Amino acid sequence: MVDDTSAILLAALVGGLLASVIRLPPLVGFLAAGFVLHAAGVQPVPGMATVAELGVTVLLFGIGLKIDVRTLVRREVWLTASVHMAATTLVAAGALALLALMGVALARDGGVTSWFVVGFALAFSSTVVAVKVLEDRGASRSLGGRTAIGILVLQDLAAVVFMAVAEGRTPSPWAVLLLLLLPGSLLLRRTLSAIGHGELMALFGVVLALVPGYALFDALGIKGDIGALVVGMLLAGHPRAGELSKSLFELKDLLLVAFFVSIGLADAPSPVELGVALALVLLLPLKAVGFAVLLWACRLRRRTSVLTGLSLANFSEFGLIVVVAAPAGLLSDDWVTVIATAVAVSFVLSALPGRHPEYLVRWLRAVLPNRPFEETHPENRPLDVSGADAVVLGMGRVGAAAYRRLEGEYGLRVIGVETSRDRYDQLRAEGLTLVQGDATDPDLWVERDFSGLSMVVLAMPFHGNNLDALAQLRSAGFDGTVAVVAQYDDHLHEALDSGAETGIQLYDGAGAELADRAYTAAHGDA
């Protein structure tokens, strides 16, 4: 066991490093490591499945912390989720019917009902992969990111309903007591307000995800992962929900390594099973385009629609659960291997477009033209920064502090740009002038009027987004001053080398500000 454990850890590290070197998400390396380990005869070690499940549970709890329930009833969420699920089920069932006509025994033997069950299993998108893709792009709080997460939540709820019907497993009569979580959340929110930082904050999040989340819901006949999501949603909107989410970020990523490696360690398919799996993978482009078309029909812009569709263009681990939960005798055991293979391949393909899939957006320009300004979703319209002397991109604590200093100390007319709706609403209520949008979207900077704008401050929390915005500004012809905030020294040097005039490392800036305040407190204004 020790040898297998060492091999798994070493292969995961090497795979992640190699993927990073060729500018692919580390999850591709983890999957590849699993495939290599399986070929070498390495078996999953005891507890690996538990670690993987823990990672998924913590991930869903973290998603819940960011969900505004109102998002789920938006047209671009519920309409896209329901129509796409129905359409994908029909298309996949049709593809299996075609395979049956071609003489593929696996598709022929199950009959029409099995085609629709497998099609339904393929309609889901992976929450784990989609959220990782969004986080790698720094887009989880953007309109597209929030829409994708809302769609994933509705898909997960559909899977829970299916399993309850297929397994004949109805929630316990005691499940009604879960309504007590609503008043109980007041105690949880007060505890979150009073709890410390560091490991205590992270432990609090893990316990909530596993105990009142997973364990309680599972004991009452409801899928535990949904419980973790719900408990997270009960804390969404709390002033410290963001801090709690950040405290779990690295822990969640570390636990999910086991999830991705275990996918690669699954049983190898036979040639026939591999052929069927690859045939099903050919449906992924249709899945991506389907999401893009539906979102565009809901008045989202082309780029937002396409990038959101790409993040959802994969098959889900829930598909395996649906196949396993199908009524006895309906599907052969071979389908588990087929779906597992298709899921693993889709995970790899989902990560290949990378952080800059603009070429895919351009390919769909003729199919999905951009709408006139007045017909575009209110949260997805081009940025208007006319009349400003300075613009701050990213209105977190650092960006908001820069905004107030530029306005209060130097008398500049400042406009802030923020993707998070909650943060946008909060700062607008405080009297700051903001626009909501994704500053990394190249279309937002096309033909913008930069006259009178002398300064742009890049204060987005994700370094890649600051670099993207810097590139868009320069390519759009902006010749004013660009200042950047970076968390690490190498990030700051990279931004300066990419064309920023000045910048500051976050902790250096905090130290300088602290010294200024200490001197003022000791000596007054003199």
pLDDT digits (tens, 9 = 90+) for 288-320: 999 999 999 998 888 888 889 988 999 987 777
Measured distance CA(301)–CA(438) in Å, rounded: 12
Q: Which helix (H) or strand (E) holds 318?
A: helix 317-325
Question: Does residue 283 surpass a pLDDT of 70?
Answer: yes
Same structural domain, 359 and 387: no
d(CA 504, CA 496) in angstroms, rounded, equals 10
Helices 241-264, 26-39: axis angle to 10 degrees equals 30
- SS3 state at 317: helix
Both 150 and 202 in a single domain?
Answer: yes
- Quick one: which H or E segment has residue 161? helix 143-166
Q: Is residue 240 part of a domain?
A: yes
**Which of 363, 398, 417 is the last residue in one of the domains?**
363
Q: Which parts of 25-74 fold into alpha helices (H)? A: 26-39, 48-66, 69-72
pLDDT digits (tens, 9 = 90+) for 258-274: 888 887 787 777 888 88
Does 92 score more than 80 pLDDT?
yes
CB atoms inside a 10 Å sphere around CB 275: 15
- What is the domain-level CATH number for residue 166? 1.20.1530.20
Does residue 149 lie within any of the structural domains?
yes
Q: Is the pLDDT of residue 123 over 80?
A: yes
Last-in-domain residue among 363, 395, 424? 363
**Rounded mean pLDDT, 176-187:** 87
The pLDDT confidence band at residue 82, using thresholds 50, 70 and 90, is very high
pLDDT at 218 over 70: yes
Distance CA 137, CA 440 (A): 10
> The domain spanning residue 506 has which CATH number?
3.40.50.720
The 10s digit of each residue's pLDDT in 413-439 is: 999 988 777 788 889 999 998 888 776
| pLDDT digit string, tens, across residues 457-510 | 998 888 888 888 888 787 777 888 899 988 888 888 888 888 888 888 877 767
Q: What residues pair up with 391 in beta bridges, in sequence order?
A: 415, 456
Residue 524 — pLDDT band, cuts 50, 70, 90? low
The mean pLDDT of 515-522, rounded to a whole number, is: 73
Look at residues 260, 271, 262, 275 and name the one whose alpha carbon lies nearest to residue 314: 260
**pLDDT band of 181, cuts 50, 70, 90:** confident
pLDDT at 257: 85
Residue 512 has pLDDT above 90, yes or no: no
CA distance 400 to 132: 27
User: Residue 328 pLDDT > 70, yes or no?
Assistant: no
pLDDT band at 449 (very low <50, low <70, confident <90, very high): low
**Contact call for residues 30 and 10 (beta carbons, < 8 A):** no
What CA–CA distance (Å, rounded) separates 356 from 341?
27
Three-state secondary structure readout of 436-495: ECCCCCHHHHCCCCCCCCCEEEECCCCHHHHHHHHHHHHHCCCCCEEEEEECCHHHHHHH
Element (H, E) at 160: helix 143-166
Rounded average pLDDT over 79-100: 94
Task: Tell me: do 419 and 270 sit in the same domain.
Answer: no
Residues 324 and 426 in one domain: no
- Mean pLDDT is lowest, of 15-29, 89-103, 233-247, for 15-29
Q: Average pLDDT, stretch 382-410?
A: 85
For residues 338 and 345, give the distance between their C-alpha atoms in angstroms, rounded to a whole number.
11
Does residue 31 lie in a domain region? no
Identify residue 331 by its one-letter amino acid code. Answer: L
Q: Residue 172, Cβ neighbours under 10 Å: how many?
A: 13
Q: Answer whether residue 79 shows pLDDT above 90.
A: yes
Does one domain contain both 345 and 395? Answer: no
Note whether residue 373 is domain-resident. Answer: no
Q: For the chain, give the percent of residues with pLDDT over 90.
A: 16
Q: Which residue has the higher pLDDT, 332 or 6?
A: 6
Whether residue 39 lies inside any domain: the answer is: no
Interval 344-371 mean pLDDT = 74
pLDDT for the residue numbered 381: 73
Question: Average pLDDT in the 97-118 region?
Answer: 87
Mean pLDDT (whole number) for 399-411: 89
Q: Are residues 96 and 221 in the same domain?
A: yes
Question: Helix axis angle, 302-311 relative to 284-297, nearest 10°?
Answer: 140
Backbone angles phi, psi at 85, to 5 degrees: -65, -45
Do 84 and 66 meet the contact criterion of CB atoms below 8 Å apart?
no
The residue among 488, 471, 45, 129 whose CA lies nearest residue 316 is: 129
Do 316 and 437 lie in a common domain?
A: no
Q: Which residue range is the domain that position 319 belongs to?
A: 51-363
Output the CA angle 231-236-241, nearest 5 degrees.
105
Distance CA(285)–CA(290), nearest Å, equals 8
Q: What is the pLDDT of residue 256?
A: 82
Q: Which two tokens stand for residue 420?
A: 């998070």
Amino acid identity of 297? Answer: A
Nearest by Cα to 84 from 369, 344, 289, 325: 289
Residue carrying structure tokens 């893709």: 133
More confident residue, 165 or 214: 214
Roughly how many angstroms between the first and final C-alpha of the chain, as a whole number?
Answer: 69
Residue 253 lies in a domain: yes
Residue 101 tokens read as: 């006509």
- On whether both 348 and 431 belong to a single domain, the answer is no
Sign of CA dihedral 365, 369, 372, 376: negative
Q: Are residues 107 and 225 in the same domain?
A: yes
Q: How confident is the model at residue 286 (pLDDT cuts 50, 70, 90)?
A: very high
Does residue 394 or residue 379 have the better pLDDT?
394
- Judgement on whether residues 181 and 103 belong to the same structural domain of the protein: yes
Residue 429 buriedness (CB in 10 A; 0-12 / 13-18 / 19+): exposed
Residue 27 lies in a domain: no
**What single letter denotes the amino acid at residue 473?**
L
Check if the beta carbon of residue 127 is closer than 8 Å to that of residue 54: no
Tell which of 363, 395, 411 closes a domain: 363
Stretch 139-152: mean pLDDT: 83
For the chain, the domain total comes to: 2
Give residue 279's pLDDT. 93
Q: Determine the Cα–Cα distance for residues 244 and 64; give it in Å rounded to an integer.
A: 11
267 and 343 in a common domain: yes
* The dihedral formed by the CA atoms of 513, 515, 516 and 517, expressed in degrees to the nearest 10: 90
Confidence category of residue 87, pLDDT binned at 50, 70, 90: very high
Residue 265, in any domain of the structure: yes
Measure the CA–CA gap between 207 and 227, rounded to whole angstroms: 12
Integer Cα distance of 146 and 512 in angstroms: 36
pTM: 0.73
User: How many residues does this entry show for the chain?
Assistant: 526
| C-beta atoms surrounding 24 within 10 Å | 18
Angle at 502 between CA 497 and CA 506, to 5 degrees: 100
pLDDT classification of 175: cutoffs 50, 70, 90: confident
Task: Read off the tokens for 3.
Answer: 């040898």
Instruction: Give the residue-averaged pLDDT of 18-23.
Output: 81
Do 435 and 322 belong together in one domain?
no
Q: Kindly list the distances between the CA atom of residue 292 and the CA atoms of 84, 125, 174, 301, 302, in Å, as whole numbers in the listed order.
A: 10, 14, 41, 10, 8
Tokens of 19: 């993927």
